[in-house]
């Protein structure tokens, strides 16, 4: 909050309220000023939450309007739509209310100074050494049963999971700031740093996912070793990031800074004409779809009991999104329909192409990683593959929503998300030699449903 006030002229404070009427009065006052209010609502009284009428946990959302006996809310973490909170439920589950104040004064922000200050704090901090101590402690003392003993109550009661979520989220925010400064200064090195931060965030999401999935299977010594190895790779990557930022922040010209960047309007991407659908069936190793609600079916895209209901899926059809085309997989109950990425080498027709398209998603976090394009002259080139979490309404990367469908959760016997997503991603290929194969990332949270060459 101090950062918002210092750099964005937005202050947040807790409203002085003692009862339901006070909270409603504050919300109305904020709305009349053209501002939202951050309202607390217990998950037990939050109709769009998976724990509605089941468990009582802390939850906040933004109140943006009042219509008759309903509070209109935005809750981007859980729903792409405007959510309706009956005032009766709100009265039963209300809590503290936070209000926003905006200073309209224009400021010529010096992003160079902000960047340098943030880098200096990173360099002076000892978070990397503490991270290494944590890894050693994890190797020697981590007890999965004790750490995840509260899992049956709620995932957010597991302190390890919650802290991993916060740590990963901080990498997203810092990456966005670095990308902002890169946009202003036209500094490609900063863009590369922003990408590395997203890779670090993706690794942390995969680690968190391994721990969660261990509850639904068995957390073995092999999984523990893999988790420790991934944690070590994060430390190595972030050490590289800090060193790179230190050098870049000293060389950025102040004259290049001082104005807000021009917002880039989204443009329709250019896709070369003609396409070839790649047959992925022999690589399918995961089941994302099932035709009925069942706690006993084999479908489980996440490894934690979630799957798409397939009634309205375009099974076996060609779907198009923003000039991209995909052959949607055939869907049959209990038959694999997607590739969970584990470094598979996908053989391709061996033709020259100018682009490659992916239909997919990630789960338990949005993932950012690299595969390899392998050509007939034995040259390989990295290819960035990134997908947002399937439950996120708006993509966090440069992909597009391709299809939406309902999801069933076996663990609570409830449809948690009415519209989870599959995304479409395009990558140009700047090489004329024939493309022989593509090596997918080592990222089990990432799922590929279709690949198209063009």
Determine contact, residues 382/429, Cβ cutoff 8 Å: no
Q: Quick: pLDDT tens for 251-276.
A: 775 434 444 444 444 455 667 677 89
Q: How confident is the model at residue 21 (pLDDT cuts 50, 70, 90)?
A: very high
User: Residue 22 is part of a domain; what is its CATH number?
Assistant: 3.90.70.10
d(CA 399, CA 392): 12
C-alpha closest to that of 138 among 235, 215, 216: 235
C-alpha closest to that of 236 among 137, 131, 142: 131
Split into its structural domains, the chain has a count of 3
Report the pLDDT averaged over residues 172-198.
90
Helices (H), 9-81: 20-32
27 domain-assigned: yes
Of 201, 225, 256, the residue at which a domain comes to its end is: 256
Domain that holds residue 24: 2-102
Residues 64 and 151 in one domain: no
207 domain-assigned: yes
Handedness of CA 306, 80, 319, 274 (dihedral sign): negative
Of 67, 102, 137, the residue at which a domain comes to its end is: 102
Residues 17 and 44 in one domain: yes
Q: What is the pLDDT of residue 1?
A: 54
Residues 298 and 443 in one domain: yes
Q: What is the pLDDT of residue 268?
A: 59
Q: How confident is the model at residue 101 (pLDDT cuts 50, 70, 90)?
A: confident
Q: Quick: pLDDT tens for 394-419.
A: 888 899 999 999 999 887 766 655 67
d(CA 177, CA 102): 20
331: which residues sit within 8 A by CB, 6+ positions away? 289, 291, 310, 313, 315, 316, 337
Give the three-state DSSP class for 128: helix
Residues 165 and 238 in one domain: yes
CA 175 to chain centroid: 13
Residues 46 and 74 in one domain: yes
The CB density around residue 432, as the number of other CB atoms within 10 Å, is: 9
Residues 298 and 425 in one domain: yes
Report the pLDDT averaged over residues 205-226.
86
264 domain-assigned: no
Residues 442 and 400 in one domain: yes
Residues 322 and 231 in one domain: no
DSSP per-residue codes, 330-358: P--TTS--BEEEES-EEEEEEE--SEEEE
Residues 129 and 249 in one domain: yes
Give the three-state DSSP class for 372: strand
Residues 206 and 164 in one domain: yes
C-alpha closest to that of 329 among 363, 301, 305, 370: 301
Q: What is the pLDDT of residue 224?
A: 92
């Amino acid at each position: 909050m101090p950062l918002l006030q210092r750099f964005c002229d937005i202050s947040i404070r807790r409203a002085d309220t003692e009862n339901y009427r006070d909270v409603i009065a504050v919300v109305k006052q904020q709305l009349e000023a053209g501002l939202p209010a951050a309202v607390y609502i217990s998950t037990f009284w939050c109709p769009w939450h998976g724990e509605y009428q089941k468990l009582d946990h802390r939850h906040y959302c933004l109140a943006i309007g009042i219509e008759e006996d309903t509070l209109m809310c935005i809750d981007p973490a859980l729903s792409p739509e405007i959510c309706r909170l009956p005032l009766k439920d709100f009265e039963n589950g209300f809590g503290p209310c936070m209000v926003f104040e905006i200073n309209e004064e224009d400021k010529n922000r010096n992003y160079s100074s902000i960047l340098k200050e943030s880098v200096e704090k990173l360099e002076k901090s000892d978070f990397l050494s503490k991270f290494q101590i944590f890894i050693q402690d994890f190797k020697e003392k981590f007890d999965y049963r004790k750490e995840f003993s509260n899992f049956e109550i709620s995932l957010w009661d597991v302190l390890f999971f919650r802290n991993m979520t916060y740590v990963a989220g901080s990498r997203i925010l810092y990456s966005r700031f670095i990308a902002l400064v890169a946009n202003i200064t036209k500094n490609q090195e900063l863009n590369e740093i922003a990408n590395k931060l997203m890779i670090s965030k993706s690794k942390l999401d995969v680690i968190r996912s391994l721990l969660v999935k261990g509850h639904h299977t068995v957390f073995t010594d092999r999984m523990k070793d893999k988790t420790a190895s991934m944690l070590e790779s994060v430390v190595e990557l972030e050490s590289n990031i800090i060193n790179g930022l230190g050098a870049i922040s000293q060389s950025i010209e102040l004259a290049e800074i001082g104005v807000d960047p021009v917002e880039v309007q989204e443009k329709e991407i250019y896709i070369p004409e003609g396409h070839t659908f790649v047959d992925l069936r022999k690589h399918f190793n995961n089941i994302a779809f099932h035709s009925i609600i069942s706690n006993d079916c084999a479908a489980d895209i996440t490894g934690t009991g979630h799957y798409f209901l397939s009634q309205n899926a375009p099974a076996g059809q060609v779907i198009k999104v923003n000039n991209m085309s995909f052959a949607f997989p055939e869907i049959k109950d209990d038959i694999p329909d997607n590739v969970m990425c584990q470094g598979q080498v996908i053989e391709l027709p061996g033709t020259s192409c100018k682009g490659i398209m992916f239909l997919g998603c990630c789960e338990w976090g949005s993932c950012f990683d690299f595969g390899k394009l392998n050509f007939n002259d034995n040259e390989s080139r990295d290819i960035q593959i990134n997908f947002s979490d399937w439950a996120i309404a708006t993509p966090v990367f440069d992909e597009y929503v391709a299809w939406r469908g309902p999801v069933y959760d076996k663990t609570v016997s409830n449809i948690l998300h009415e519209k989870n997503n599959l995304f479409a991603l395009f990558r140009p290929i700047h090489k004329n030699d024939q493309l022989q194969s593509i090596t997918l990332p080592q990222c089990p949270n990432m799922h590929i449903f279709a690949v198209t060459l063009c």
